[in-house]
Amino acid sequence: MIAYFNGEYCPKESIAISPDDRGFLFADGLYEVIRAYRGRLFRAEDHLERLKAGARSLNLTVQDFAHLKQVAQKLLVKNGLNADATVYFQVTRGAAPRGHAFPDPKVEPTVYGIAAPFDPGPGLKKQETGVPVILVPDQRWARCDLKTCGLTANVLANQRAKESGAGEALFVRDGVILEGTHSNFMAVVDNRLVTAPASNHILHGITRKLVLELAHAEGIPVWEAPVFEADRHKISEAFITGTTTEITPVTAIDSTPVGEGEPGPVTRTLQNALRQVTKKS
Ligand code: PDD
C-alpha cells in the first residue's frame, strides 16, 4: 500500500510516526473518510471543507487542505484502486514534547493519507434488510461537530452494539436521539423526515446534507428538529446515513420494531435517489 505522509508518497509500512505526536498523546487531531465509486472520489470537496473548518476551530497551523483532493486521487491511482474504495486522512497538531498547551515554537501538523479497497457487499445487504440499533447515553464531549480522532466514547458504544447484535448504537443526550457512533440518524414521523439539527452535538454529515437535499427534491417534507426518545412510538421509519453506511434502514430500536419492522417507502425512495447520484458521480 502506498500512503501519503507529510508531503511524500511511500509504502505504508515505512511510515514511522513519532511517539510525541499529539494525535497519539492527546487525540489532538482530525480525520476524514472519503468514498470513491469506481475509482472516482465522491464529494471530496465537502469532506475537505469540513476538515478545513475543523482545523480552524482547533487552531491548527495549517488550515487549508484543498490540495488533499489531488493527493486522494493519486493514492487511488498509485494503489490501482479503480473500483470501490475509501480514502482516509488524518491531520494532527504535530509532534512536540508532551505539554497540554499548543507547541511553542509552533510545529508543522502531521498529515497522513491512505486509500483502501472497499467491499460494498456486506453494506448493501444491510441496506436491503435493515439493521436493529441500540440506544446509549451520549458520553461524548460537546463538540461532536468536529471530526476529531478522539473516539473513545464511539468505540465503546459501537462495541456494545456489536455485542448485542445491533448494527449501530445511537447516542441519546437530554432525551434526544442524536446520531450513531459513525453515522447520522433520521426518522419519519407523521410523514415528515426528522433529523437532529446541525448543532455542536452531531457531526454535520456529508451524506446527511445530501440526503436532505434529495428529500427536498423528492417532495418529502424535512424537519430539522430533535427526535425525542420518548416519541419513539411515533416513528414509522428510520435509517442511518454515512459515507460508508450510505442509507441503511433501522428496523428496530432497543428490540422494539420501527413501524412494520421493515424498510419503509420513504427510506426506499431516498436509497434509490442516492444510488442515482453515486452512479452518476
Ligand atoms: N463516520 N456521525 C459520526 C459520529 C460519524 O463518525 C460519521 C462518519 C457520520 C456521517 O458523516 P458522513 O456522512 O460525512 O460520512 C456521522 C466515518 C465514516 C467514520 O468514522 O468511519
Residue 158 sits in a domain of what CATH number? 3.20.10.10
What integer is the mean pLDDT of 12-33?
Answer: 98
217, 273 contact by CB (below 8 A): yes
Kindly report, residue by residue over 35-57, the tens digit of the pLDDT.
Answer: 999 999 999 999 999 999 999 99
pLDDT at 280: 87
What ligand 1 atom has the least distance to the C-alpha of 147? Answer: 6
In this structure, are 105 and 200 located in the same domain?
no
pLDDT recorded at residue 108: 95
Pick the last residue of a domain from 118, 149, 182.
118
Question: Which residues fall within 8 angstroms of residue 174, CB to CB, at 6 or more apart?
Answer: none
C-alpha to C-alpha distance for 96 and 22, rounded to whole angstroms: 7
Q: What is the pTM of this model?
A: 0.97
Please indicate, yes or no, whether residues 270 and 135 belong to a single structural domain of this protein: yes
* Ligand 1 pocket member 43 (CB < 6 A): no
Q: Report whether residue 206 contacts ligand 1, using a CB cutoff of 6 Å.
A: yes
| Judgement on whether residues 134 and 26 belong to the same structural domain of the protein | no
Residues 141 and 63 in one domain: no
How far is the centre of ligand 1, averaged over its atoms, from the C-alpha of 239 (Å)? 14
Task: Give 98-142 pLDDT, tens digit per residue.
Answer: 999 999 999 999 999 999 999 999 999 999 999 999 999 999 999
Note whether 6 and 94 are same-domain residues.
Answer: yes
Grid coordinates 502506498 are at which residue? Answer: 2
Nearest CA to ligand 1 atom 9: 183
Return the C-alpha cell found at 92. 494532527
Give the distance (Å) from ligand 1 centre to CA of residue 203. Answer: 7
Q: Whose CA is nearest to atom 16 of ligand 1?
A: 183
The predicted pLDDT at position 38 comes to: 95
Q: What is the pLDDT of residues 53-64, one digit of tens each?
A: 999 999 999 888
**The pLDDT value given to residue 244:** 97
Beta bridge partners of 180: 170
Q: What is the pLDDT of residue 128?
A: 98
Which tens digits make up the pLDDT trace of 146-204? 999 999 999 999 999 999 999 999 999 999 999 999 999 999 999 999 999 999 999 99
Cα distances from 168 to residues 3, 54, 97, 131, 155, in angstroms, run: 30, 25, 38, 8, 11
Domain boundaries, position 127: 123-280
pLDDT exceeding 70 applies to what percent of the chain? Answer: 100
Q: Count of domains in the chain? A: 2
Residue 244 C-alpha to ligand 1 middle, in angstroms?
A: 8
* Bridge-based pairing state of the strands 85-92 and 8-11: unpaired
Note the pLDDT of residue 271: 98
Give the long-range contacts of residues 99-104, CB within 8 A, separation 24 or more: 100/26, 102/59, 103/22
Could you give the residue numbers annotated as active site?
A: 147
Closest alpha carbon to 52 in 140, 244, 44: 44
From 99, 118, 137, the end of a domain falls on 118
Distance 33 CA to ligand 1 centre (A): 8
- Please report which confidence band the pLDDT of residue 281 belongs to, taking 50, 70 and 90 as the band edges: confident
H helices of 202-264, in order, are: 206-217
* Residue from 182, 185, 195, 244 to probe ligand 1 pocket by mutation (most atoms less than 8 Å from CB): 182
